[in-house]
Amino acid sequence: MLVTFILALIFLSALLFLGYGFLAWVGAAGVWLIGWRIVGIASPLLFESTVVVLALLALIFGVPPLRRSLISRFAMRVMTPVLPRLGETERIALEAGTVWWDAELFSGRPQWEKLLSFTPQGLTADEQAFMDGPVQELCTRLDDWQINQLRDLPTSIWVFLRTNGFFGMIIPKEYGGHGFSAIAHSRVVTRISSRSVAAAVTVMVPNSLGPGELLLHYGTDEQKKYYLPRLAKGDEIPCFGLTGPEAGSDAAATQSEGIVEKRVVDGKQILGLRLNWKKRYITLAPVATLIGLAFRIKDPDHLLGDVEDLGISCALISRDLDGVEIGQRHDPMGVPFMNGPIVGRDVFAPLDCVIGGREGIGHGWRMLMESLAAGRSISLPALSVGAAQMMTRISGAYATVREQFDTPIGRFEGIEEPLARIAGKTYMMTATRTLTCGALDAGEKPAVLSAIAKAYLTEGMREIVTDAMDIRAGAAIQKGPRNSLARAWDAVPIGITVEGANILTRSMIIYGQGAIRCHPFVQHEIDAIANDDLKKFDQAIFGHVNLLVRNATRAKLLAWTGSRLAAAPRTEDTRRYYQHLSRFSAAFELLSDVAMGTLGGSLKRREKISGRLADALAYMYLASCALKRYHDESKTTANYNLVRWSVELCLYRIQEALLGVLENLPARPAAWLLAWAIFPLGARFRPPSDKLGARVARDILEDREARINLTTDIFVPPPGEVGLGALEAALAKAVRALPVETKLRDAVRAGKLDRAPGSMLDEMGRKAGIISAEEYQWLRDADAARNEVVAVDAFDPETFKSLH
């Protein structure tokens, strides 16, 4: 009997760990009671009374109609004021897009095989030909210093962009576009951005949120047939007016409006809109011929029906209409892409200007949210990856070529440290871009993951560019044709700010939407309460209870066992990282439930807490992407070092985010219990070690293939061009000279040569026959190349006055 008891206890504990929730707790309590009775601890009266209680609990909670009547009805009344009430705009934003791997991370038990079996789409033959042809040719023609001085792209570049269909990458071939995939779109922007941010922005805006994207998904057939071919050919240059002085982060608060009215135009009475708006920060506005406009339609005369406020809509407005004021320019951080305000004063446009026609009236907010759910995944993450790969390429080469104290500066630990950060983050960011675009190409519109990619890749760009500037030091702050870093530095705040400022994205979108949208049950609970549906509420709330119980058990057991009980791919040398992420997934879901349960609807105003929860979710996703990349690519030593560095950084940041929530959760008793469950042995994760960082830095300094593999998406100029081109040529010469320099140092240590400064030692070695004449020339060539790439630009006073 005792053996039976032990087996039953093990079985029920397994049920708890695997997620069979509340009833398993009841069963476990019963088994424990039987055990006490066997060993004589429980008296017969206590035993019989408790059996009756447990049987009643099992009956109440195990029979749904009884449970709904006795428990769920009361719970529904209690939770109604606790759960957040969703306005219409919030509901539309929540319902936009899809959930994907984010739902797995929110489950507490991510199914890793699902991720590893997913195959992101590669480039088609047409897409690769475009990369190798027009994109490469464009990058060859671009001169970013010239663009900065002209304050615009040269006319020849605008013509090239139109002629080669750069403005129609997302437009299907049937309308004259390229019909490219998300990954192709991203890689085009990445490569161009490594050459010129202004050119990249000019290309990416017509292919992101704007007239083309909105027409594709919501336009009428007539609108598509007329506008899409013109947009694809560049006959129309689009912009999109969303942000205004009164509506920045709260775009739904727009005061731009269109009043429905009738006018006689050319002798005909036309039903249309009298539009008034003020928009700012609108990219391509100064040169746009077609304005996409978000505004609120009002029908005070009830020309369309009984409803006066018809909601936010999107329309296409020609710049030539009377009352449109367009052409002025903003100056976004000195980066000279076209950006400026648009004002409309009593502009009249026919009603068919609304995207989607009359059926599209009032659906503009949904159109915008659904488009952003996908669009955030592409443009700014691509720009960030371009900057990261560029910084990796420049910093790795410069740290090898630049010498101080007769030693390449990359050998110094002070340079090793930022080099490792640059390489490790670049690996992780490129992995995130690839996987997120892969999800898009598979038909997903992952709203939360898109927001993570936008916010955390642009933040990664900021960190990487800062490190690259520190490595380049004085040469990095002297602007001129030789300096490839300063213009990236100028552009960083733009990526941080647009398409949802990162502060907003982190605290409100990623977790605010993620907690409801990705959680298996919360949105069902909210919907059930809103619809007064007791049956659906019962299913959701007890599914939620089971999930909470399961993850409380899993989080505790995984914490005590160092994550070793978590399932993970068995063939992976990164198995332990999968297990740790599974542990944090359970802990994150448990902590989320407690935060939502104790704070209720006020959680969305506790942005410091929600921001830390967003950090935890984001770094679980970034780590997943890095592991997926390592799984899919060659298992080289360099890749192993990079994935270890990336994931260890993520694990540390997840830990710190969860600890930050625990330290600041207002319900202190709950926080203490959670801390004991989630971190019973304390905070054990650390950032990547110095030893691992040194390996990563050495890989990009000494392993040419590793450095190229990290930077495959960028444009590398020819050797004769100042900047990266000259730096790459200098690197080749420096690498060729390294064995010769080693030979001379060995001769000094052996006493065959006296110590002397570099060029004098070279000459002494040649005369002593230690190095050949050819080797001596290699040293001279390397020195000349070094001098060229460490040089900075200087200008005469008159030229300097005209510089931008």
355 burial type by CB count under 10 A (0-12 exposed, 13-18 middle, 19+ buried): buried
pLDDT classification of 6: cutoffs 50, 70, 90 = very low
Alpha carbon distance 323, 344 (integer Å): 6
pTM over 0.75: yes
What is the maximum alpha-carbon separation in the chain? 104
Strand partners, 311: 297
Return the higher-pLDDT residue of 802 and 513.
802
Q: Please give the pLDDT value at position 34.
A: 54
**Dihedral sign, Cα of residue 640, residue 641, residue 646, residue 648:** positive
pLDDT of 62 strictly over 80: no
The amino acid sitting at 725 is G
pLDDT classification of 39: cutoffs 50, 70, 90: very low
pLDDT tens profile 267-290: 899 999 999 999 999 999 999 999
Q: Sorting pLDDT into bands at 50, 70 and 90, what band is 549?
A: confident
Give SS3 for 367.
Answer: helix
| Selection from 449, 418, 447 nearest residue 431 by Cα | 449
- The percent of residues in the chain predicted with pLDDT above 70, rounded, is 90
Residue 134 has pLDDT above 70, yes or no: yes
Alpha carbons 776 and 759: distance in angstroms, whole number: 10
Question: pLDDT band for position 15 (50/70/90)?
Answer: very low
Residue 61 in contact with residue 75, Cβ under 8 Å? no
Considering just the CA atoms, what is the radius of gyration of the chain in Å? Answer: 31
Q: How large is the average pLDDT for residues 600-616? A: 88
Nearest residue to 732 via CA among 718, 713, 745, 715: 718
Mean pLDDT of 37-41: 50
Please report, for residues 114, 224, 549, the alpha-carbon distance to residue 20 in angstroms, rounded to integers and kept in the order given.
Answer: 22, 52, 8
Instruction: Using CA atoms of 103, 109, 114, 120 in order, give the dihedral in degrees to the nearest 10.
Output: 50
* Predicted pLDDT at 87: 66
Place of tokens 């670049």: 426
Does the structure show a pLDDT above 50 at 452? yes
- pLDDT above 70 for 513: yes
Which residue from 107, 113, 83 is spatially nearest to 550, judged by alpha carbons?
A: 107
* Whether residue 209 has pLDDT greater than 90: no
Q: How far from the centroid of its chain's Cα atoms is residue 325's Cα?
A: 35
C-alpha–C-alpha distance, residues 464 and 483, integer Å: 16
Backbone angles phi, psi at 273, to 5 degrees: -125, 135
* Mean pLDDT, range 717-725, rounded to an integer: 91
pLDDT, tens digit, for every residue of 344-365? 999 999 999 999 999 999 999 8
pLDDT band at 558 (very low <50, low <70, confident <90, very high): very high
Tell me: the pLDDT tens digits for 405-429? 878 898 999 999 999 999 999 999 9
Catalytic residue chosen out of the listed positions 104, 499, 589, 728: 499
- Give alpha helix (H) positions in 531-606: 534-560, 575-599
CA distance 224 to 386: 32
Q: Annotated catalytic, 236?
A: no
- Mind listing the pLDDT tens digit for each residue in 646-681? 999 999 999 999 999 999 999 999 999 999 999 999
Predicted pLDDT at 316 = 96
Which helix (H) or strand (E) segment holds residue 292: the answer is strand 290-298
